[in-house]
Structure 1
Amino acid sequence: MVLDILSALPGIEILERTSSTLRVQQVVQLSLAPAFLLAGIGAVMNVMTNRLIWVANKIERILDAGDEGDVAAMRAELPALELRRIYAQRAVMFSTASALAISVVIVLLFVSAFVRTPLGTLVAATWVICMGLLVAGLGSFLMETRTAAHRNRERMRERRGASD
């Protein structure tokens, strides 16, 4: 009954189109590159997330510190840490959106093989959106690492100046 309804839908001849093993193989082959990109995005997101967690934990430790030790020096780190947190959070959000967009590309590739409606423009537009989001995520990650390196250089200069 469900198969009869699906075969009667205008523009969708899903039973006839999915019976071709060759067509399914072609779609699987086409979706491999986006799938590998998705795995790469996941690996980069793992690094980004670990940095975000580290920064958030450091901020929390500084804010929870009592009057023990050199609290003023620890609190001086907060602006740079907060900036790093913002960049890392943006990087994770943009990368997650990119992963979602690449997943949509994979779905569209499969759907396009089984419907008569041309979806090439939609697939291409979604791919461009995915790449834009990925570039934004990597750019935010670059800014986070740059901020960390800049703060480390400042700390080294301060230590050298204090020892002179």
Structure 2
Amino acid sequence: MFPDTPETAQAVARIIGQAVAPVFLLAGIGAFLNTLTGRLARIVDRGRVIEPQLLGSVGAEHDRLVREINMVDRRMGLMSSAITSTVASAVLVCTVVVLLFAAALTNLHAGTAIALLFIGAMVTLAAGFFIFLIETRIAARAIRVRKALLTHEVDEAAGDE
């Protein structure tokens, strides 16, 4: 370790400057995780609403609710995967910051390891975004208004004229 000198303070200041970008990245990852967990909570709530309805339904309504609960289950799995991937990215970014400090303070040559960890962080973050994209597309398909309802509304509107 370096002796506690003005040069050491300058080295630490330089390391902090280098670590600022990954720390800002962590803030962005945290915000994204907040979005993911909020979305997961809403999906879970929807599943809790459907479950009792499913148990008391029959016929076509039962079949529709089975399809919906299966979609909710798939969406929960996707959100869980997105959260896992994004948390892994955050852990890798934290490891990059730690290695930046450790390498500078101990004269460890860890440039390759830091670069590989950062690449891993970007890949896992991209995977989290991609999984989120898949889930949002499934959700958009799931919330489409049933044609039977649209037809009924159109028929009612035509009867009012």
TM-score class normalised by the smaller sequence: 0.7 to 0.9
Query: CA–CA distance in 2 between the matches of 1:25 and 1:97?
Result: 28
The alignment status of 1:25 with 2:13, answered yes or no, reads: yes
Structure 2 unaligned regions, length at least 5 = 156-161
1:119-158 matches, within 5 Å, as 119-153=110-144, 155-158=145-148
Alpha-carbon distance, 1:68 to partner: 7.0
1:16-95 matches, within 5 Å, as 20-65=8-53, 66-67=55-56, 72=62, 73-95=64-86
TM-score relative to the length of structure 1? 0.82
- Structure 2 CA distance for partners of 1:18 and 1:56, relative to 1, 3 Å: farther
Give 1:159's match in structure 2, choosing from 139, 149, 156: 149
**SS at the partner of 1:117?**
coil
- Structure 2 CA distance for partners of 1:158 and 1:88, relative to 1, 3 Å: farther
Give 2:97's match in structure 1, choosing from 86, 106, 112: 106
Alpha-carbon distance, 1:14 to partner: 3.3
- The answer to whether the Cα contact below 8 Å between 1:17 and 1:114 also exists between their aligned partners in 2 is no
Query: CA–CA distance in 2 between the matches of 1:134 and 1:36?
Result: 14
TM-score relative to the length of structure 2? 0.83
- Structure 2 CA distance for partners of 1:99 and 1:158, relative to 1, 3 Å: farther
* Counterpart code for 1:137: G
Alpha-carbon distance, 1:158 to partner: 4.6
CA RMSD of aligned residues (A): 2.3
Structure 1 unaligned regions, length at least 5 = 1-12
- Structure 2 CA distance for partners of 1:124 and 1:137, relative to 1, 3 Å: same
Identity of aligned residues (%): 29
